Structure 1
Amino acid sequence: MAESTCGCALVSVCPQRPGSSLLSIEASYQSLRSFRVADHTTTTDLVSTCEKTLDTGHNDIHLELMGEWKHTLFPEMYKVPESLMGLLSQTIRLANEQELLNRDTIVDFDIPTNLSQRTRLLEHQVLSWDKTHAYPTAPDVNPINEKGFRYDALATHQGLILFYYRRIHNINALILQDTVRKVLDFAQESANAGIENGFPSPLLLWPCFIAACEALEPGLQDRALKFLLDADCQSMAPSFSVAAEVAQKVWSLRRETQDYTIGWVQATAPYRCPIIAI
C-alpha cells in the first residue's frame, strides 16, 4: 500500500527488474525482488486458478503470482483478501513498467507487446474480482467482524478499480465518480459495523485516500474529507490526516489547471516518497 502511493520509484532510484519469474525452474527468489515485471515473463503469473507450491508461497513476498496459496495468513493478519493485494501488486508493477518504458531510450521490443497483453488481462481481473473472497473463511469469525471484513474488502476493491484506471490508463476522473461514491459507501458501512470497537479499520485508509483524491463533486469531497478527519480523531494512525492533506492538494491542483487527469502522483511529486504507512 505504501508502494502504491509513491508514484513509480523513480526519479533517481530505479529498482532492478527481477531476472526471472518465480514460476521459473531456477531459484530466482534468491535474488532481490522488486515491484517490476520479471525479465522474459509471460502472463502466466496472472493466472489466479493455479495453486502456489509451499516454496513459492513462502518466497512470494511481493505477491508476484496471482495463484492461490492454501497456507496464506493474509486474511487473518491483515484483514484483507490476498487476491486483492495480489491485484494491487500487479497493477503497481504494470504502472512502474509503463513509466520506465517511457523514459528508456533502449527498448526490448518484446516488452511493449507483453505489457499490452498484461494490461488487457489485468483489467479484466480487477473488474471481475470474485466478491466471495470478501467473506472470511475462518469458521469462528463473529458476525460483526464478518460484516466489517466484507465491507473493508469491498471498499478496497473499488479503490483498486480507481487505482488501476488512474495509474494505468490515466483516465479522466470525471468518469470515476460513481466508483468514488461506492468506496465511501462501503467505508461507511464498515464504520457502522463497528469492527474495531468504535475505531475505523486501518485498512480503510488506503481506499479512502484513493477515493478522496479522485473526488470531484463537492458533496463527495466533503464526505471523503469528513471521513478521513473523523478517522484521524478516532485513530492513533497519523496517516489519515496526511491522506486528507494530500487529497486537498490534488483538488487545488485540479482547480488551478482544470486538468482532471492530475492525481496524487503529481501532488506528491516534490517529495516522491510513500505517504501512507499501515
Structure 2
Amino acid sequence: MKCDETRPTCTSCSNAGLNCGGYEKSVFFGTHDASSNGTIRFRRPLLTEHERACMSETLTSSVPPKLAMWHIEQIEESSETASRTKDFEVYHGCFGAFRLAQEQYHTASDTSMMVTEEVFCPQELFSTGEESLFVSDDMALTPRTRALFQSILEDPLPERNQLLPTMDLLDFANDSGRIEEIFDVDFTPSAIQQPQQFSLLAQDHYFPLSLPQSAVNHMSSPESPELLRAGPSTRVVLPPDAVQLFKHYSITVLKLLTPFQHSKTPWHVLFMPHVKNCLAALTLGEPLDHASLCAFYGVLAVSAFSLHGLSACASWLETAKAYKQLAREHARKMLHSAYDIPKTAKYKSILMALLTMVQVAMISGDAEQTDCYFLEAEKFVRVKGLNRKKSRKVRLLHHCYAFERIFYESISVANVNLTHRNHVRKTIESSGAAIYSQDSLTFRLSSWGNLDNDMMRIKGKEEGENDLHLQLPGTWSATLYPEIFGIPESYLFLLSLIIRLGKLKDAAEQQEDENILSLKEFLARAKAVERCIKQLPQSDTSNSELPLEDSQSLLTTMLSAMQNALAIYFYRRIYDVEASILQSKVEAVRDCLSYFESVSSDTPYGAIRLIWPAFIAGCEAEDTDVRDTISGWFDRSAACSGSRLFADTRANMERIWAQKDRLGGESASWIDLMKSTA
C-alpha cells in the first residue's frame, strides 16, 4: 500500500490495520521554486511521533485556554514598546516573539557559495549537548525553545537510541600514515592535495571522505547548491560538490549514453534513483554498503572528468581522481564480500557498481582497469545472475553489460590481461555456474547449420536471457537492446560472430587450437555472416512504444553508420581486404557523422554510441578530407560533452594514421598495427 503521509499516522494503513512503513527518503533539487510547476516536495520530520506529541502536550498544558488571549495581548504590548534597533525576546506561557539582528542572515547576493537550504542529520539530533539540537552556531536556541526541547531530551526513548548509529568517533583524522595503513588509500600529495577529514557514521560501515579544499574553490555557480551540511558540529561529511556533479551527470553525461530522450532508460530508472537515494542517505547520516558507495563515488568521478573536459580546470581533474580513488576502494571491499552468503548487498547494487566502475575506467583512459572490471562484471553475472529469476531491471543491467562488453571485445585484439581472463573462467567453472550459461566463456564460435534460417529461429526465454554474449543465432522478442540503445539485437549478434571468427582465425594462424575449422568451413561461415550483414534492417520497428519526440531519422542514420562500420570491420578482420575497396563505406559513415552534427547544435543524444563506427571507419580512411572530417567530429564532440572518450579515441586513430603513412604503400589494417604494438 502507498503511504498517504497523513500525520500523525497514515490513514490508509490505519484503516487496513497495518503498521505504516512510511514513505521513502528522497531529496529533490531544483533551481526554481518547485511550486511553480506543480511539483510537491516532502521533507522528513526532524522529530519522531512520540517527541512531537510530548512537545504539543507541553505547549498546551503551560497555559490555561481561558488565559490564552491575555498572554497574546501581553506579547503584543511588549513588542510595541521594545526598541526598534535591538534584539528582543518576549515570552508569556507557551507564546513568544523575538527579533534577531539582520546581519545574522545571509542573502543569495552575499556569496555565490551559499547553500539553498540546511539539511540536518539525525546523528546530531540527540547529542549529549543540548545546544546542538537542530541548530548551528549562528542560530542559537531561544530560552523558551531550549526549555521545551530539554523536556524531550530528559524523556528516554529506548527505540530511538537503538535506531541511531553509535557515534564513538576515532580521533585520527590528521594521522595520514595511520589512515593509509588501515584503509589502504593513497594519500600522497600527487593523489590528494589536502588532508582528509574522516567521519565514522556507524561502526564497521564506511568512512566517507571530504574532498580537498582546492576542489571546492572552483564551485562558483550560484545556480546550484555547493554543499549540503548539517551545521558545524555535525560529524557527517558529505562531498561538497555532490549536488552539482549529480546534476551535470543527469543533464549532460546521460545524454551521451542513449539516443532516446524518454525517462525509461536504465540510467533513468536504475542508476539515477540509486545515486539519488545514496545522496539522501548520506545527507540523513544513514549507513550505506560498499556497493552503493562505489556507485555513488563512481558517478561523481565520471561527472567530474566530464567537467574537466569542458572547462580544462585542473581542480576538476583533481576532484575526479579523488572520487575515482574512493570508488575503487569501495569496489575492492565490495568484491571481497560480493559472493558471501547471506549476501551483504543487493545483486542490482553490486552490478550497478561494477558497470559504473567500467565507465569510470573508460572515461579516465585506463585500459587495464577497464578490462578487469569487465571481467569482474562477467564473473558476477554468470555466478550470481544467470541462475535466478530475472526481473526487468535485472535484464536491463545485463543488456547494458553485454552491449558494452561486445563492443569492447571487438577492438581488444591484443589479448590483454590474459592471466585474469583465465582466472575468471576457472572461477566460473569451479563454482558450477557455467552450466547456466548458454554461450561459451571464451568467445568461441558455435556450430550452426544454415545461418540465414537460424537467424529467423525464435529463442526461448532461458536461451534469450542466458546467452550473455550473443553466441546463438535466433530472434528473441523480449530483447531490450532497441529500447535502450536504439540498435536491434541482430547487429550485436553479428558483431559477436565476427569477434568469434576473428579469434578462431588468430588461433589458426598461431596454431594454438587443435580443433580449428578447415579453410573451406571457415570461408563458408564467413560467407554466411557476410550475407547477414548485407541484409541487416536499416530501421527497427520492434519497439512500438518509442515516444514521438525521438527522431526516427537520427536512429536510422545511426543504424546506417553501424551497418557500414560492421561491414568495414568484417572485411578487415576476417578477409583483410585492401583499404581502397572500403572507402565508399568509410565515406558513408563520414556522411552519417556530418548529418548528426547538422541536426543538432549541441552534442546529440547517444553521441557515445557513434564512437565505435567513427573509429572503425576513420582508421581505414585514406583521403585527407575524410580524415579531417572524422577527426573534427571527435574534437567537436569532446568540446561539447567534455568526455575524454572522444579525445582518446581520436588520438588512437591518428596514431594508426601515422603508422600507416610510415609504411607507405602497404595497406596495413588497424588491427594488425594494434597487435604489433601490444
Shorter-normalised TM range = 0.7 to 0.9
Name the CA shift for 1:2/1:265 in 2 (closer, same or farther; >3 Å): same
What do residues 98-154 of structure 1 show as CA deviations (whole Å, max 9, x unaligned)?
011111166336554432221110111112212243x56324432543222111111
Aligned counterparts, 1:192-271, within 5 A: 192-194=598-600, 198=604, 201-269=607-675
What do residues 182-221 of structure 1 show as CA deviations (whole Å, max 9, x unaligned)?
0111222233344986466211010001111011000100
Q: Which residue of 2 aligns with 1:157?
A: 563
Quick one: which of 444, 447, 471 aligns to 1:64? 471
Q: Distance in 2 between matches of 1:174 and 1:152?
A: 24
In the alignment, structure 1 residue 98 sits paired with structure 2 residue 505: yes
Q: CA deviation at 1:83?
A: 1.0
Tell me the TM-score normalized by structure 2.
0.36
Q: Distance in 1 between matches of 2:439 and 2:587?
A: 42
Letter in 2 for 1:201: A
What SS is found at the alignment partner of 1:168? helix
Q: Which residue of 1 aligns with 2:245?
A: none
Runs of 4 or more consecutive aligned structure 1 residues displaced over 6 Å after TM superposition:
none
In our comparison, the structure showing a higher alpha carbon Rg is 2
Q: Distance in 1 between matches of 2:465 and 2:551?
A: 27
Name the CA shift for 1:158/1:96 in 2 (closer, same or farther; >3 Å): same
Q: Distance in 1 between matches of 2:448 and 2:520?
A: 10
Letter in 1 for 2:463: T
Quick one: which of 11, 35, 47 aligns to 2:443? 35
Quick one: which of 409, 412, 423 aligns to 1:6? 412
Letter in 2 for 1:64: Q
What do residues 41-94 of structure 1 show as CA deviations (whole Å, max 9, x unaligned)?
234566211111000000111011231111011011222221111111111110
Q: CA deviation at 1:95?
A: 0.7
Answer whether contact 1:144 1:193 (CA < 8 A) is retained: no
Tell me the TM-score normalized by structure 1.
0.82
Answer whether contact 2:414 2:674 (CA < 8 A) is retained: no
What do residues 2-54 of structure 1 show as CA deviations (whole Å, max 9, x unaligned)?
111111527956978x9xxxxxxx9562785232214xx23456621111100
Letter in 2 for 1:50: R
Q: Which moved more, 1:115-124 or 1:139-148?
A: 139-148
Quick one: which of 68, 78, 88 aligns to 2:485? 78
What SS is found at the alignment partner of 1:126? helix
Answer whether contact 1:148 1:194 (CA < 8 A) is retained: no
> For this pair of structures, how many residues does the alignment match?
261
Letter in 2 for 1:55: E
Letter in 1 for 2:441: R
Q: Percent identity?
A: 21
What do residues 232-254 of structure 1 show as CA deviations (whole Å, max 9, x unaligned)?
11124311111111111111111
Which ranges of structure 2 fall in alignment gaps of 5 or more residues?
1-406, 426-433
Answer whether contact 1:36 1:96 (CA < 8 A) is retained: yes
CA RMSD of aligned residues (A): 2.9
Q: Distance in 2 between matches of 1:209 and 1:186?
A: 13
Answer whether contact 1:63 1:89 (CA < 8 A) is retained: yes
Q: CA deviation at 1:178?
A: 0.9
